[in-house]
Amino acid sequence: MRWIVDGYNVILADNRLAKLLRNDSETARAEFLSEIQRSGKLGKQKVTVVFDGKFSSSAERIANNIDVRFSARGETADDLIKIEVGTSAKRRSLSIVTNDHAIINYARECGANVVKSQDFLLMVRGANATTQAGKISVVEKPEPTGNPDPELLKLFSEKKK
């Protein structure tokens, strides 16, 4: 499987990273990429993280399986992602990570899998998530904390008059 990640879209799906992005975009990108690199949840699967660039396109390999791309002047990250999906010979093996509806629709039309940004973060952060056909299913559930709060029980058990 190959992952194509809408970088800023995923960063903005996380409160901590979004706040960091507002203050220092370079640090936010570095933190996000570091999380992917450290997690090990993607194994040796190829990951391409695409960001909007300002002046010229560039590409960088930060690990054997992680590439970073920046869009060129007059082009958006969305454009690059659509080109990657549209020109891929193995579209069914692609997992596109974004919450952007235009990219989601295009990827699905092309036969690629779509993963929501929040689900990707859960997986990378090890929330005991598994992937199956490009879909994330989180299997972690909260543990019971003991006896229920009597006030909450009373509040929810009262019938409305």
- Residue-wise pLDDT for 71-120, tens only, equals 988 899 999 999 999 999 999 999 999 999 999 999 999 999 999 999 99
Q: Which of 75, 60, 72, 73 is nearest to 29 (CA)?
A: 60
Q: Is 71 exposed, middle or buried (0-12, 13-18, 19+ CB in 10 A)?
A: buried
Q: What is the pLDDT confidence band of residue 56, given thresholds at 50, 70 and 90?
A: low
Q: Out of 3.30.360, 3.30.450, 3.40.50, 3.40.390, which CATH number does the structure's domain 2-157 have?
A: 3.40.50
Question: Over the range 31-63, which residues count as b (16 or more CB within 10 Å of their CB) and which as e?
Answer: bbbebbeeeebbeeeebbbbbebeeeeeeeeee
Domain coordinates in residue numbering, the chain: 2-157
User: How confident is the model over 30-53, as pLDDT tens digits?
Assistant: 999 999 988 888 888 999 999 998
How confident is the model at residue 138, as a pLDDT? 35
